[in-house]
Amino acid sequence: MHDIFEELFANQPLDPMEAARRGMRPHLRRRFYAAATTRADCNGYAVLLDGRTVRTPARNALTVPSEALAQAIAAEWQAQEDAIDPARMPLTRLTNTVIDGVAASAVAVAADVEKYLATDLLFYRAAGPERLVARQHELWDPVLAWARTSFGARFELVEGVIHIVQPAESLTAMVAAIPQNPWRLGAVHAVTTLTGSALIALALAHNAMTLDAAWSAAHVDEDWNVELWGRDEIALERRAFQFEEMKAAAAVLAAV
């Protein structure tokens, strides 16, 4: 299985919409196992294919800290049909990222979340129309209120996209909320990059908002444009792909 795992998940994740635009046809490996299962071991819970431990692209054992998480990953493998499609396995891809990348580079990953925090999506508001302004207030202000109440972090808001410097003490307070556990940190980083908002990611991680609320808050402007100009099917397909990645991150946060 050595070459198979390296080939399957090397350079993942791959957005299938981007692949289509580049004219790429991913080569999918045929399914080579009958059953995906889990087993407790001294490091946590391993995912097995026909009794053999799944390996990450870096050849680390795919072992996770939660039985529920291991079972969810095994379910992704079991759901594969004739061919194995990594694009349909967001939880496995995120797990590979955490094991092979985040665990060894936690400081750098946390620093990346911190950079998003300094220019968070929620700070930059529309000047109009009135309904869009009201929608931003409705979906974004509760996140800012949570940051203020829970961490004493008060942030400045601005209309437009001109950079605004945030109070250093507020940023410091929210940096302390970034998880140190590599699993939760990897999930928070994934949500941050998917939404453009570290505050939304942290609110989700601290159970201050639901997955659906976080997703809606991240897409206020996009949803407004859809209402105004109509649906873009390619954009909607990409969004559906990204929502699966968001659900995977939420599953890790719920399980670890």
Q: What is the CATH number of domain 104-255?
A: 1.10.3580.10
Q: What is the pLDDT along the chain (256 residues), one digit of tens a residue?
A: 444 555 666 655 455 445 444 545 567 899 999 999 999 999 999 999 999 999 999 999 999 999 999 999 999 999 999 999 999 999 999 999 999 999 999 999 999 999 999 999 999 999 999 999 999 999 999 999 999 999 999 999 999 999 999 999 999 999 999 999 999 999 999 999 999 999 999 999 999 999 999 999 999 999 998 888 888 888 889 999 999 999 999 999 999 9
> Which tokens sit at 83?
């061919």
| Angstrom distance (rounded) from CA 47 to CA 49 | 7
Identify which of 15, 16, 61, 17 has the alpha carbon closest to the alpha carbon of residue 41: 61
pLDDT at 20: 47
E strand map for 103-150 = 124-125
Taken in order 153, 126, 131, 239, the sign of the CA dihedral is negative
Q: What is the DSSP string of 172-241?
A: HHHHTTS--SHHHHHHHHHHHHHHT-HHHHHHHHTTSS-HHHHHHHHTHHHHHHHHHH---HHHHHHHHH
- Going from the C-alpha of 195 to that of each of 8, 113, 200, 215, the distances in angstroms are 27, 12, 8, 7
Please state the domain extents for the chain. Answer: 2-88, 104-255
> Where are the strands (E) in 99-174, listed by range?
124-125, 158-159
- Helices 67-79, 90-100: axis angle to 10 degrees equals 130
In b/e form, how buried is each residue of 174-208, taking b as 16+ CB within 10 angstroms? Answer: bbebbbeebbbbbbbbbbbbbbbbbbbbbbbbbeb
Token pair belonging to 189: 């980083």
CATH class of 2-88: alpha beta
Tokens of 8: 């399957």
